[in-house]
Amino acid sequence: MFGYGPEPLDSPATTLTSWAAGVTANELRTRFTGWDLTDVAPGTNPVPTFWFTLRRRA
């Protein structure tokens, strides 16, 4: 899954400062019960974007 994140992957910030808050890895874990988040990789866009890899539990 490709999505916008609230801050760069290595950012210590926890406060969202934009109306376009994006999604966090923890939010995906909460929303996709029955799935494991196996990887989070930064995108190559100038804004914080990420590739989230999810695997369905058997």
Instruction: For residues 47 and 32, give the distance between their C-alpha atoms in angstroms, rounded to a whole number.
Output: 24
pLDDT of residue 10: 55
Note the pLDDT of residue 36.
95
Alpha helices in the chain (DSSP H): 25-31
Going by DSSP bridges, is the β-strand pair 49-56/2-4 parallel, antiparallel, or unpaired?
Answer: antiparallel
Residue 16 is predicted with a pLDDT of 46
pTM score of the predicted model: 0.69
Output the tens digit of pLDDT for each of the chain's 58 residues.
Answer: 998 877 655 555 545 455 456 888 889 999 999 999 999 998 888 878 889 999 999 8
- pLDDT number for residue 30: 92
